[in-house]
């Protein structure tokens, strides 16, 4: 099947932002160092403000006043990173989408290579993080354990160290729009539909955050990990069946041993400790299994309501005069402030590559 790669002429940059007021402008400046130089007819930068409590929305609107390429999806409250990326897809009007975080740990300098691979025929361009200077050894170890457990339990394999920094052709964007579940893991859904061929990879080193702190605490990361396992696997439910069979067999063997000991060895075992230990063990197993079952039932309860994924305003600029249009048509013009910010960004990336 021959692909029509001549139609690949426009790109949507989708940026999820939650309390990122210090990163909105630096990211925009870094994107302008790349996007106008690409062989594209059009591009748009869609910021998704995920219910930020700081001045993230105001910073985006300031950019929009001087550049009509900037668009804003403004959530009424915090719906989460995964839903924010889905909202960006819904409002994209281009031939492909590039997803990235607002903290500059997804370096915009790799966008050029991603677009080139896409225009040569790749439907999906993924990135593989070979290092992250901002994470500790413990976090990296826990992340590796999570992916091993997830891929052991799930039928949908999710490769490790492949963040949400990726390019998707419009064909796969439309596929992803068909998924309606409220709780979702973007990279899991993508691997569910991802083809065997037509996928390219780019390796990169993630620098430190440009500004602010990570919004994912250990508690939130653990909750996401558990939720992801439930989303993509029913093996925990099957495990409860196997565990039930095992405990039933163990109880039968234990009963047989007590019977033999009482009637043939004339050495009856005091019953209180044995009964209490057995009841405690079986009671714990039952509570664990009920908890797992309840987690699945709870998610069914939430999904069958079919509530909207998000509630948001879509804001785009409408230039009122030709002078404003002329400013937008020359996005490469740099101010002295932008030079300082760009210099700081380059230092961060240089540090990450060492």
User: Region 138-144: what's the mean pLDDT?
Assistant: 74
Q: In this model, does residue 50 exceed pLDDT 80?
A: yes
Q: How would DSSP label each residue in 67-96?
A: -TTEEEEEESS---HHHHHHHHHHT--SSE
At residue 70 the predicted structure's pLDDT band, cuts being 50, 70 and 90, is very high
Region of poorest pLDDT, from 12-26, 55-69, 125-139, 206-220: 206-220
Tokens representing 287 are 């509570």
CA distance 93 to 97: 9
pLDDT digits (tens, 9 = 90+) for 265-288: 777 666 655 676 677 777 777 877
Pairing mode of beta strands 10-17, 166-169: unpaired
Q: In this model, does residue 197 exceed pLDDT 60?
A: yes
Tokens representing 211 are 């500004």
What residues have CB less than 8 Å from 123, skipping those under 6 apart?
A: 3, 168, 169, 171, 172, 195, 198, 199
Q: In this model, does residue 98 exceed pLDDT 90?
A: yes
Q: In this model, does residue 58 exceed pLDDT 90?
A: yes
The residue behind tokens 């009856």 is 268
- The pLDDT of residue 11 is 95
- The pLDDT of residue 319 is 44
At residue 224 the predicted structure's pLDDT band, cuts being 50, 70 and 90, is low
Q: Are 251 and 275 in contact (CB under 8 A)?
A: no
Q: Which domains are present in the chain? A: 10-140+156-217+308-353 (3.90.550.10)
Q: In this model, does residue 297 exceed pLDDT 70?
A: yes
CA distance 10 to 95: 5
CA distances (Å), origin 233, targets 87, 163, 165, 287, 300: 25, 21, 25, 20, 14
């Amino acid at each position: 099947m021959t692909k029509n790669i001549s139609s690949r002429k426009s790109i949507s940059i989708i940026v999820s932002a939650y309390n990122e007021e210090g990163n909105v402008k630096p990211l925009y400046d870094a994107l302008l160092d790349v996007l106008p130089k690409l062989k594209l007819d059009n591009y748009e930068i869609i910021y998704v403000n995920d219910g930020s409590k700081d001045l993230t929305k105001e910073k985006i609107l300031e950019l929009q006043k001087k550049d009509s390429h900037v668009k804003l999806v403004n959530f009424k409250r915090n719906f989460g990173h995964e839903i924010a990326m889905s909202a960006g897809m819904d409002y994209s009007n281009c031939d492909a989408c590039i997803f990235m975080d607002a903290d500059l740990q997804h370096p915009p300098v790799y966008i050029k290579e991603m677009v080139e691979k896409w225009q040569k025929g790749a439907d999906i361009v993924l990135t593989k993080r070979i290092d992250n200077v901002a994470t500790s050894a413990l976090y990296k170890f826990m992340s590796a354990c999570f992916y091993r457990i997830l891929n052991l339990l799930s039928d949908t394999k999710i490769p490790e160290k492949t963040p949400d920094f990726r390019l998707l052709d419009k064909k796969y964007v439309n596929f992803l729009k068909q998924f309606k579940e409220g709780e979702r893991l973007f990279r899991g859904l993508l691997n569910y539909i991802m083809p065997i061929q037509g996928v390219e990879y780019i390796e990169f080193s993630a620098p430190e955050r440009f500004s602010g702190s990570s919004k994912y605490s250990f508690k939130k990361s653990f909750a996401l990990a558990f939720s992801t396992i439930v989303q993509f696997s029913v093996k925990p439910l099957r495990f409860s069946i196997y565990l039930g069979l095992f405990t039933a067999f163990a109880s039968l063997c234990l009963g047989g041993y007590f019977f033999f000991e009482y009637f043939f060895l004339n050495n009856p075992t005091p019953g209180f400790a044995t009964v209490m230990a057995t009841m405690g063990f079986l009671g714990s197993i039952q509570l664990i299994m009920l908890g797992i079952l309840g987690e699945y039932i709870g998610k069914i309860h939430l999904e069958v309501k079919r509530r909207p994924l998000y509630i948001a305003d879509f804001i785009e600029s409408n230039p009122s005069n030709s002078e404003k249009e002329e400013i937008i048509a020359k996005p490469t013009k740099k101010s002295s402030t932008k030079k300082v910010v760009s210099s700081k960004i380059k230092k961060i990336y240089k540090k990450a590559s060492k």
